[in-house]
Chains A and B, each alone.
Chain A
Amino acid sequence: MRYLIRKFGFYLVALWAALTVNFCIPRLMPGDPVEIMMSKLGQKGPVTPETRQSIEALLGADSSRPLPRQYGDYLAGLATGDLGVSVTFFPASVIDIIGRTLPWTIGLIGLATVISFLAGVGLGTLAGWRRGSWLDNLIPVTTMFQSVPYFWLALILLFLLGSVWPLFPLNGGYDVYTVTPGWNGEFLGSVLYYGALPALTIIVSSAGGWMLGMRNMMVSTLSEDYMLTAEAKGLRPGRIMRRYAARNAVLPSISGFAISLGFVVAGSIVTEAVFSYPGIGSALLQAVGGNDYALMQGIFLIITLAVLGANLLVDLLYSVIDPRIRARS
């Protein structure tokens, strides 16, 4: 129980820190984001005083108000879910855009990450178990894949599988010409088809890291005394591998999974840029390109919240898998 309270406490502090970073960045940076946004909004249509106010609260233009007051306005705006209006997608509100793009990102990046984690850990277990086998010798090759910049690998695969041998579509999230979005088989099939190549690039580039980490932990675990005991008892090798070695060796990988979620988000932005995928990363880049600061800050906030939430989930899961964590506190 104390473990849970500590964890929740930590994530509350982290949440506060994220909100504060989001508050400070536009105020510390040179330039006047509110004026830029206002002039852009003005070109698209009339700007109501309320819109101006909410954007000022988010980005901080009104220097006559003291900072603590601005901070209060900002938090109050967030509490009501008011993230301002987007310029790029005028007149949609920032919240709308996030709601529209987030499912694409979670579907693609989330699934691909989980698949690559499971595949990497599985292969790493086997590689560590049969040290020196062909699978183990494959590890330097997969590390090579890891040091290849992700977007370059994605570009090459896109070039080969999209242009040279057109097996996969070049960009987009689904076939916009022939299918209508909705819960029908055609649309879902199209989404799977369009998502296959981006997912493949993510798996190819990240499974190697999990594999290496798991393999090294397996090798460490295998030299423990209790492994010797298990072998001496004459247990079946499969049982030793799964219940004795893998279960203990996987723990660092799981806590590593939590840490890597931040990198996953980072990767998703690049993935979506390469494949023009209609997710939240593309929206962020469009916002950056169009000086759409409200949308940019909103997306940054949502990404941070998602990463914090996922981290909390993994932490809770970890305490289920490893009883020592609960016992210690």
Chain B
Amino acid sequence: MTADTVALTAPVTRRRPTWPPLTAKLAAGLILGGAVVLFGLLGPLLVQDPSRVGDIGLAGPSGDHLLGTTQTGQDVLAQLAYATRGSLIVGAIVGVLTLLLSAFFGIVGAYAGGWLDELFSLFTNIVLVIPGLPVVIVISAYVPDKSLLLVSLVLAITGWAGSARVLRGSTLSLRGRDYVLACRVAGEKRWRILAVEILPNLIPLLASQVVFAVIFAILGEAGLSYLGLGASGSFTWGTMLYYAQNGLALRLGAWWWFVPPGLLLALFGAALSLINFSIDEIINPKLRSQTRASRRGWRMSSEQLRKAKESTL
């Protein structure tokens, strides 16, 4: 008991967290992603009511309506602002839920080992092989009035397993390392080893899994809404595209209606991917290290080769 308290209260030398180096990729990702998030947060405060019906339908971009109007004269920019907020909310909820579920089933299972690990890993693999979108479609077919929260919940439940598997793999490799074994011998408590010794090493991996989950959730919600199965009465990028498709925006050439939501989605996805690339380079140092091109520099020139041959003869 006293030994533990001493260990806990002893001054801990803090390791500085390893931030990814600010490369061009990371900077571009952060700026783009930040801009979209800012638009989603502040945009709805600045624009008019997105559902307000106007007189001028299907008008191109002009001074009054910067991104033109929909078939019923609603302002596309206003809809876009609210849609951005809706999609980001879905992404955020699913990101948090995926983090919790995958960390629980991936890290805790792998760390505990034994039958618990077997059970969790079996469960993860089963959720992984059962295709997600059909489950989501079937569930949403039974529930007529869906909230954004319900849609996010279903997306998270069907989508966490991939991350859990990745986390399990690296937890397994970490828990067998010498320094963890040393902590055990030193009598550290099991939860403390998990929280203080293992978890910090998993943070980059967790971060990249969450980023992936956010991308997948936003894309998944957009696909679901496009099929007409999204949350009822909500604005997201997917519902905008659904209404654009139903309003024959494609046939009528109303590009200002269907291009912005897709483009914004692509931009945000690309920004998150760029951030993920930078995180990957921390997790996998091999991506940074020596290339074949650098190795070519070691090669002997033909002059040196001839000399070497002559000397051996």
Chain A positions within 8 Å of B141 at CB level: 287-288, 291, 293, 296
Q: Whole-angstrom distance between the alpha carbons of A265 and B132 in the complex?
A: 9
Of A143, A152, A156, A265, the contact of B134 (CB 8 Å cutoff): A265
Interface centre among B144, B227, B274 (most CB of A within 10 A): B227
Chain A positions within 8 Å of B266 at CB level: 144, 147-149, 152
Q: Whole-angstrom distance between the alpha carbons of A60 and B221 in the complex?
A: 29
- Residue contact A219 to B138, C-beta cutoff 8 Å: no
Question: C-beta contact mask, B188-228 vs A, less than 8 Å → 1, else 0?
Answer: 00000000000000000000000000010001001100111
- Residue contact B273 to A147, C-beta cutoff 8 Å: yes
> How many pairs of residues, A versus B, come closer than 8 Å at their CB atoms?
160
Of A219, A259, A273, the contact of B287 (CB 8 Å cutoff): A219
Chain B nearest Cβ from A224, distance in angstroms: 9
Please choose the segment from B51-59, B67-75, B288-296 that sits at the chain A interface, where 4 or more of its residues have CB less than 8 A away. B288-296
Chain B positions within 8 Å of A253 at CB level: none
Q: Whole-angstrom distance between the alpha carbons of A156 and B250 in the complex?
A: 8
Given contacts A14-B126, A14-B129, A216-B287, contact A25 B138 (CB under 8 A): yes
B308 interface hit (Cβ, 8 Å): no
- Residue contact A26 to B223, C-beta cutoff 8 Å: no
Chain A positions within 8 Å of B126 at CB level: 13-14, 17
Chain B positions within 8 Å of A284 at CB level: 134, 137
- Residue contact B262 to A149, C-beta cutoff 8 Å: yes
Question: C-beta contact mask, A284-307 vs B, less than 8 Å → 1, else 0?
Answer: 110111010100110110011001
- Residue contact B122 to A13, C-beta cutoff 8 Å: yes
B269 interface hit (Cβ, 8 Å): yes
- Residue contact B273 to A262, C-beta cutoff 8 Å: no
Chain B positions within 8 Å of A262 at CB level: 128-132
Please choose the segment from A27-35, A79-87, A172-180, A190-198 that sits at the chain B interface, where 4 or more of its residues have CB less than 8 A away. A27-35
Q: Whole-angstrom distance between the alpha carbons of A296 and B134 in the complex?
A: 9
Of B133, B228, B258, the contact of A266 (CB 8 Å cutoff): B133
Q: Whole-angstrom distance between the alpha carbons of A289 and B125 in the complex?
A: 31
Binding site secondary structure of chain A = helix
- Residue contact A269 to B262, C-beta cutoff 8 Å: no
Of A14, A216, A219, A269, the contact of B130 (CB 8 Å cutoff): A14
Q: Whole-angstrom distance between the alpha carbons of A114 and B265 in the complex?
A: 27
Binding site secondary structure of chain B = helix
Question: C-beta contact mask, B235-253 vs A, less than 8 Å → 1, else 0?
Answer: 0011001000100001100
A98 interface hit (Cβ, 8 Å): no
Chain A nearest Cβ from B270, distance in angstroms: 5
Q: Whole-angstrom distance between the alpha carbons of A269 and B226 in the complex?
A: 11
A276 interface hit (Cβ, 8 Å): no
Chain B positions within 8 Å of A308 at CB level: 129
Chain A nearest Cβ from B27, distance in angstroms: 14
- Residue contact A300 to B269, C-beta cutoff 8 Å: no
Chain B positions within 8 Å of A97 at CB level: none
- Residue contact B265 to A149, C-beta cutoff 8 Å: yes
- Residue contact B143 to A29, C-beta cutoff 8 Å: yes
Chain A nearest Cβ from B309, distance in angstroms: 14
Chain B positions within 8 Å of A152 at CB level: 222, 241, 258, 261-262, 265-266
- Residue contact B143 to A30, C-beta cutoff 8 Å: yes
Q: Whole-angstrom distance between the alpha carbons of A273 and B227 in the complex?
A: 7
Question: C-beta contact mask, A221-251 vs B, less than 8 Å → 1, else 0?
Answer: 0110000100100000000000000000000
- Looking at chain A, what size class is its interface with the partner chain? 35 or more
A residues 8-49 in Cβ contact with B at 8 Å:
10, 13-14, 17-18, 21, 25-26, 29-31, 33
Chain A positions within 8 Å of B134 at CB level: 265-266, 269, 284, 299-300, 303-304
- Residue contact B143 to A270, C-beta cutoff 8 Å: no
- Residue contact A269 to B227, C-beta cutoff 8 Å: yes
- Residue contact A149 to B223, C-beta cutoff 8 Å: yes
- Residue contact B131 to A266, C-beta cutoff 8 Å: yes
A residues 87-111 in Cβ contact with B at 8 Å:
none
- Residue contact B131 to A265, C-beta cutoff 8 Å: yes
Q: Whole-angstrom distance between the alpha carbons of A147 and B227 in the complex?
A: 19
Chain A nearest Cβ from B179, distance in angstroms: 24
B115 interface hit (Cβ, 8 Å): no
A163 interface hit (Cβ, 8 Å): yes
B301 interface hit (Cβ, 8 Å): no
- Given A132-B291, A265-B134, 8 extra CB contacts under 8 A: A29-B142, A151-B223, A159-B250, A220-B284, A263-B131, A270-B223, A293-B141, A307-B129
Q: List 5 A-B pairs, minimum CB-CB distance, nearest first.
A: A147-B269, A266-B133, A29-B142, A152-B262, A262-B131
| Interface CB pairs A-B, < 8 A, 5 | A219-B287, A220-B286, A265-B133, A273-B227, A300-B134
Which B residues form the contact surface with A (CB < 8 A)? 122, 125-126, 128-135, 137-139, 141-144, 162, 215, 219, 222-223, 226-229, 237-238, 241, 245, 250-251, 258, 261-262, 265-266, 268-270, 272-274, 280, 284, 286-287, 289-293, 295
Which A residues form the contact surface with B (CB < 8 A)? 10, 13-14, 17-18, 21, 25-26, 29-31, 33, 129, 131-132, 140, 143-144, 146-152, 155-156, 158-159, 163, 216, 219-220, 222-223, 228, 231, 259, 261-263, 265-266, 269-270, 273, 284-285, 287-289, 291, 293, 296-297, 299-300, 303-304, 307-308, 311
